[in-house]
Structure 1
Amino acid sequence: MLSPGRLRCIIVDDEADARRLIEKYVQKVPFLEIAGFAESATDALYLIREMKPDIIFLDIEMPEMTGFELLKLLPAARPAVIMITADPSYALEGYEHELTDYLLKPVSFERFLKAVNKVDNARVPKYLQATNESVRELGSQAKQSTEQAEAAGFTSDFLLLKENKKLIKVSPGEIHFIEGMRDYLKLYWSDRVAVIHMTMSKIEEALSPSQFLRVNRSYIVNKKVIREIEGNEITTNSGRKIPIGITYRANVLAVLQKNRI
C-alpha cells in the first residue's frame, strides 16, 4: 500500500540490473516509494495510467518503443521525468522534452539524490496553495512595473542570484548564455558556470531584450557573444554550438537582421 505524502515512482528500463539499482536508491530516500516497474515503454504506458506516479525513471533505448516516443503519448500534465541512459548524445533532445533531469549510467547515489530533490523541492505545501491567486496577482503587478520601467529606459545594473546558500551579484552583460534544466538554470560566464534554482521564464523577465535573445526552450543567448549562424545553429565566440528552435527561428533572424549591414 502506498503512503500519503511520499513521491510515487515507477522505474522503466529493459535491463534488470538497472531497475534493481534505481530501486535500491529509491529505498534509501525517505520521501520516495516504488509504485511499479516496467520492462518496456509499452508496459509503462499502462502502468502510468493506472498508478499515476509522481516520478518516472525512464530509460531511452528499449524494445518496441523508445523513452522519447513514450513521452509523446503522455498528456501535457505528466509526472516528473528523470531520464536514465548510457548515451550522452541524447542530452539535447532530452532538454527539448523538458525533463526534470538527465542521468548517465552508471548512476551514482549522489547524482540520483540531486535529481529527486529537484522534484521534492518543486512540491507546493498545502498551506501555500490557498495563496496562489494572491501570488499570481502580485506577479502580474510586478511584471507590469518592470515593463513600465523598461519603457522609461531603466535597466538594472546587476542581478542578485542565489546559488546554493550564496547570493551572487551578476552584471547581465557578463553572462554569455543561459541553459535551462526545468526548475534550474546554468549561467555561463567566460570563467565559470553557476547553477541556480530559477525558471527560464523568470530569468527572461529579468533580462533586457536589447541584450539577450531566447533561441529555443532551453537557451537564452547574449547577442554580443554570437559569432555566426549556420542553418539552425548558433556558434558563440567561445565555440559553443547552440541549436535554434523551430518556433524561435523567425524571431531570432528578425532580431539579428536589424544589425545586418
Structure 2
Amino acid sequence: MQKVPFLELAGSAETATDALFLIRKLKPDIVFLDIEMPEMTGFELLKLLPASRPAMIMITADPSYALEGYEHELTDYLLKPVSFERFLKAVNKVDNTDFPKSFPVISELPREIVPISKEPQEQILDTEFSGARNDFLLLKENKKLIKVAPAEIHFIEGMRDYLKLYWSDRVAVIHMTMAKIEEALPAAQFLRVNRSYIVNKKVIREIEGNEITTNSGRKIPIGVTYRANVLAALHKNRI
C-alpha cells in the first residue's frame, strides 16, 4: 500500500468463508468486499457479521447492485475498475478519528486500482440540445449506452453517489449525483421534491399533505423545505 502509507493491508481472501474468518480474527477498521465471490455473495456474508461490524465498502462491476448496497447501509459502493482517486474518496468516508491502522482487502481489489483518470466519472456521457431544451440524454449503464428522452423519465431516486432512473417499463442505475442530473434535465418539466427525488410533473396524479402519488401509484414524500416550490410550480395549472 505504498500510495496510502496510513493504511496497512492486514490480509486478503479469495472466498467468502475465508473473508468471514479473517474479519472475525483481525477485527479490521475497513473491509473492501467483493459482491461476487465463491460460496456466497458479499451481501450474504454481510448478514453473518455482527451489528458492530467494520466499515464496509462494496466492490462490483455491476451497477445494478447499487440499490441493494444502499439498503445494507454500506460506507461506500465502488464500481470496477476503481480509480485511485475514487478509492481514496471511499476511504475518507470512514468516520474514525483514530484512523485505521489495518484493513483486509477481500478478493481482487489491488488489481482493480488504476491510475487516476482524467476522464469524468459521471455516467451521463452526452446530451443533445435544441434551443434551451435537452432532446435526449445518453446514459451509461454497465457496458451499455442508453438513449432516453427526458420526457420519458417518470422520476429519479438518489442513492448517495448513484441514481435510480425510472422510465416507461424499465429502471437503470447510474453513477451520478442529484445535482448533476438536475442540471441536465429541463427545469420546466421536472421538480425536485426532496433531497432524494426528482419527479416529472406529467406523472403526478395527486398531492395529499406532504406526499405525491404518481400515475403508477408510487408514493413520494415532499420535503418540508421543497413544499412551497413544488406547489408554486404546479399552481399555474390549477383550476
TM-score when normalising by structure 2: 0.55
Letter in 1 for 2:19: K
CA deviations on 1:178-211 (whole Å, 9 max, x unpaired) are 1111111111012111111111111100001101
Residue 87 (structure 2) aligns with:
123
Whole-angstrom CA distance in 1 between matches of 2:78 and 2:132: 37
Residues 23, 167 of structure 1: alpha-carbon distance in 2 compared, 3 angstrom cutoff: same
Deviation at 1:247, TM superposition (A): 1.6
Letter in 2 for 1:203: I
CA root-mean-square deviation: 4.8
Letter in 2 for 1:211: Q
Please say if 1:228 is aligned against 2:206.
yes
Deviation at 1:216, TM superposition (A): 0.8
Please say if 1:167 is aligned against 2:145.
yes
Please say if 1:177 is aligned against 2:141.
no
Structure 2 regions of 5+ residues with no counterpart? 9-15, 33-45, 59-66, 89-112, 121-126
Residue 103 (structure 1) aligns with:
72
Whole-angstrom CA distance in 1 between matches of 2:194 and 2:234: 15
Residues 25, 177 of structure 1: alpha-carbon distance in 2 compared, 3 angstrom cutoff: farther
Whole-angstrom CA distance in 1 between matches of 2:217 and 2:134: 29
Q: Size of the alignment, in residue pairs? A: 175
Structure 1 regions of 5+ residues with no counterpart? 9-20, 29-33, 38-50, 64-78, 83-94, 105-111, 136-145
Any conservation in 1 of the 2:194–2:226 contact (CA below 8 Å)? Answer: yes
Residue 188 (structure 1) aligns with:
166
Deviation at 1:226, TM superposition (A): 0.2
Q: 2:185 aligned to 204, 207, 212, which one?
A: 207
Post-superposition, which runs of at least 4 consecutive aligned residues in structure 1 deviate over 4 A? Answer: 5-8, 25-28, 34-37, 79-82, 118-121, 124-129
Q: Which has the higher helix share?
A: 1
Residues 25, 117 of structure 1: alpha-carbon distance in 2 compared, 3 angstrom cutoff: farther
Residues 254, 128 of structure 1: alpha-carbon distance in 2 compared, 3 angstrom cutoff: same
Moved more, 249-258 or 225-234: 249-258
Letter in 2 for 1:188: Y
Whole-angstrom CA distance in 1 between matches of 2:216 and 2:236: 23
- SS across alignment from 2:232: helix
TM-score when normalising by structure 1: 0.51
Letter in 1 for 2:139: L
Residue 24 (structure 1) aligns with:
19
Residues 198, 7 of structure 1: alpha-carbon distance in 2 compared, 3 angstrom cutoff: farther
- SS across alignment from 1:101: helix
Name which structure has the greater RCO, CA cutoff 8 Å, separation 6+. 2
Residues 164, 231 of structure 1: alpha-carbon distance in 2 compared, 3 angstrom cutoff: same
- SS across alignment from 1:158: strand
Deviation at 1:80, TM superposition (A): 8.1
Letter in 2 for 1:181: M
- SS across alignment from 2:78: helix
Whole-angstrom CA distance in 2 between matches of 1:249 and 1:26: 50
Q: Which has the higher strand share?
A: 2
